[in-house]
Amino acid sequence: MTINRRRVLIQGAAAAGFALLPGFEAAASQKPAVAKADLERAVSLSDYEAIARRRIERVAWEYISGAAADEITLRWNREALDHLMLDPRVLRDVSRVDTRTKVLGLELPYPVFLAPTALHKLAHPEGELATVTGAGKARAPMVLSTMSSTKLEDIAAKGKTPLWFQLYVQKDKGFTEQLVHRAEAAGYRALVVTVDTPVEGIRNRQDRAHFHLPPGVALENLRDLPTGGKWSPGTEKEVFANILPDRLTWKDIEWLQSLTKLPVLLKGVLNAEDADMAVRAGVAGILVSNHGARNLDTVPPTITALPRITDKVAGRIAVLMDGGVRRGTDVLKALALGANAVLIGRPVFWGLAADGAEGVANILNILRHEFEVAMVLTGRRTVAEIDRSVIWR
């Protein structure tokens, strides 16, 4: 693919505000509609963050942006990426740069996925439907969360991009089995089992803001559970306490694999021994993730954990990484340290809140363009040429 130097973003940024979320009217009506000029000036993911911050109701903002306890790992996720320096090579013919890659049989134009995140209707009334439309426009695969605010079948019906399903194994095994079969029947192509959340982390910021679900927003995939997909009464903690199995072990991973023909990936691995156990358990891949720093504070940033894991795995299964990816150079660094692809979490909310599906497509296109430029400027023409020599040592 020849590098396209024209601006990749701002594709007819349909300006102005959108219909307001029920229950959020009071706050949102005081928020300024997004001016077209603001969107045209938004050239980086952090520009979208600034717009989203003005658009998203404060309680929801604290939920989305917040992390665990003192948010030290949240800071480290970024700092560790920032501190890695690049080692560019010159005088290589970079007139043709190819960002394409393959992950578990998926042909990707560039190695970025949408991470599974709960409740997109907090950022936009169309929620995950807008997200999947934006992902399709930017040709990025999406991992849908068990805790989505739109039914998994509705996303699959609308989605024009490859979909994976993120599974929070439920205490109710029968319900878990149903969820897996629903995802498989709807056409999801892989199962991403989140293994780092036996309980919810200490979420001080979200608790201080008294986060709750606004009326009209529910966990649509969980409607048949006793909680009826509601976050009420009370807080997310009760929902988590009802659904998350704190007894999940490697035996359950075997059981899950026996339920489905889909490839199974484990999300939330930071330890190299666990990565090795994952290989031996026969899973198709792992996601090196600290859950966007939302679970256990002071665990290492993912980019620091990554090389130990890719050394241990040694190419036997796919390894993806998320946590703080905000620039094309971050994508390059993760690939240099052995990741096959990266995922982005919070930036999807920023794109959604700023400009719905168009905003999601734009943040992905920005990242893609930045990644392409980073490859050109470091003299790496293909993804295969991105190895550890990209990092300054």
Ligand X SMILES: Cc1cc2nc3c(=O)[nH]c(=O)nc-3n(C[C@H](O)[C@H](O)[C@H](O)COP(=O)(O)O)c2cc1C
Return residues touching ligand X (CB under 6 A). 64, 77, 115-118, 145, 147, 166, 194, 267, 289, 291-292, 294, 322-325, 344-346
Angle between helix axes 346-378 and 127-137 (nearest 10 degrees) is 10
Judged by CB, which is closer to ligand X: 235, or 289?
Answer: 289
CA angle 327, 165, 322 (to 5 degrees): 25
- As measured in angstroms, the least distance from the Cβ of 382 to ligand X is 25
- As measured in angstroms, the least distance from the Cβ of 148 to ligand X is 8
Judged by CB, which is closer to ligand X: 123, or 376?
Answer: 123
| Encoded amino acid at 161, one letter | T
Judged by CB, which is closer to ligand X: 68, or 97?
Answer: 68
- As measured in angstroms, the least distance from the Cβ of 168 to ligand X is 7
- As measured in angstroms, the least distance from the Cβ of 181 to ligand X is 20
Q: Which residue is nearest to ligand X (CB)?
A: 345
How far, CA to CA in Å, does 272 sit from each of 30, 175, 277?
49, 31, 9
Residue with tokens 């920023």: 350
Judged by CB, which is closer to ligand X: 347, or 356?
Answer: 347
- As measured in angstroms, the least distance from the Cβ of 240 to ligand X is 10
Q: Which of 24, 47, 21, 46 is nearest to 34 (CA)?
A: 47
Judged by CB, which is closer to ligand X: 64, or 243?
Answer: 64
Judged by CB, which is closer to ligand X: 317, or 348?
Answer: 348
Q: Which two structure tokens, joined as six digits, stand for 172?
A: 């109710």
**Catalytic sites, residue numbers:** 291
- As measured in angstroms, the least distance from the Cβ of 75 to ligand X is 11
d(CA 353, CA 341): 25
